[in-house]
Amino acid sequence: MTRIGLLSDTHAYWDEKYLEYFEPCDEIWHAGDIGSLEVAEKLAVFRPFRAVYGNIDGQEIRKLYPQINRFTVDGAEVLIKHIGGYPGKYDPSIIGSLMTRPPKLFISGHSHILKVKYDKTLDMLHINPGAAGMSGFHKVRTLVRFVINQGAFQDLEVIELADK
């Protein structure tokens, strides 16, 4: 069993609540637009950290984190890409990878819209954790926590942070 804390689109904004809500997590994943090395470093010191870079991220972050991160945790293959779309409207840059070899979980960010949707066609869960930072049009900042247990996803929680 692996407990995951998931966020995206921090845009260099730091909130101590990230650590508070991710305290019970075994790993933290960031779906891009980290915005600053400082945010990534604080999360990486706190827990094992996996991330991808987003469209606003500079060279410092792009040197450390890939555009696409594909890995397996507790029996579930995961693919993270910042700009990825969602079931029924995947981004052209990732649709080939998803169709050829769908992971069990596809995570994307970018839209600042929280979305958890199951893709029946690909037998794949999609999560966009919304935006945890202050920049953007979103009204509420969000994080997601969930558990991976022998390839199954359980106990998914959406956490709303203070309004912008």
Burial of 156 (0-12, 13-18, 19+ CB in 10 A): middle
Q: What is the Cα 151 distance to its own chain's centre? A: 18
Count of other CB atoms within 10 angstroms of residue 139 = 8
In three-state secondary structure terms, 17 is helix
> If you average pLDDT over residues 98-104, what whole number do you get?
96
Question: What's the CATH architecture for 2-163?
Answer: 4-Layer Sandwich (3.60)
Q: Give the per-residue pLDDT at 130.
A: 97
User: In whole angstroms, what is the distance from residue 160 CA to residue 137 CA?
Assistant: 15
> If you average pLDDT over residues 3-15, what whole number do you get?
97
How confident is the model over 135-144, as pLDDT tens digits? 888 889 999 9
**5, 24, 104, 105, 134 from 147: Cα distances, Å:** 9, 11, 13, 12, 27
Give yes or no for residue 42 having a pLDDT over 60: yes
Q: Give the per-residue pLDDT at 164.
A: 54
- What is the residue-wise DSSP string for 26-69? SEEEE-S----HHHHHHHHHHS-EEE---TT--HHHHHHS-SEE
Domain boundaries, the chain: 2-163
Question: Residue 27 in contact with residue 49, Cβ under 8 Å?
Answer: yes
